[in-house]
Amino acid sequence: METNINANPLETGSDELERYAMEECVKRQRLEHRVSVLILPAGRCEMAIKFARLGATVTVADEVARQQEVQGRILASGLGEQIRFQAATLGQLPDELAGQPFDIIIVRRGLCGLPYDIARQVTRQLLLRLRIGGKLYLSILGLHSELGQGYAGAETPIEQRFSPLSPVLVKKYGIQGEVCLYSERNLFMLLLEAGASVLRTLTTTYGNVKGIAVRV
């Protein structure tokens, strides 16, 4: 797929991965089963609200510092009985998450803030929070997106790739610290090495990579 490096690599709003997850939720709801969804991080809660309106029970996980803001958005949605906040980050997952085991887990870009070996361990932990047959949806910033321009780790093997973005892009997008950018193959291998059955990977128009895997 052709990559438009002039487009926004952070890809706000609805996308193809979200559509797949929504379709999965609808399918599972038809089986007369209350779907349990984890979204991490919470973002602005738009995705959580969409799942709740489909009848799912949703846990949104994020940093403690965002709790008041996120709970305010949940309250404003009128869906407080279906959406709950839990303080958790990818780097610090608690032993138990509200709503576990989940049917659907969605991770939005957070894995890029972890070195590859830790990201693989976290992915394995997330898989274990799913029901057997549950699905994991990952969205990761791409090595071949605009963010890869001037990226010091561009030629480094994924196992050692953990570098800051170029100063220009740090200023433009506010992504501080070291990150690990992925190719589509890198994401496929991450899921495989974590013990998942990989259903689909794709590269978006913006050059980011996304994957869907199932716990078997």
Q: Which fold has domain 17-214?
A: Rossmann fold (3.40.50)
How remote is the C-alpha of 37 from its chain's centroid?
Answer: 12
Alpha-carbon distance 105 to 137, whole Å? 6
Average pLDDT, the chain: 91
Distances (CA, A) of 50 to 23, 26, 175: 12, 11, 27
pLDDT at 71: 95
The pLDDT tens digits for 139-171 are: 999 999 999 999 999 999 999 999 999 999 999
* pLDDT surpassing 50 at residue 5: no
pLDDT at 33: 72
pLDDT at 4: 35
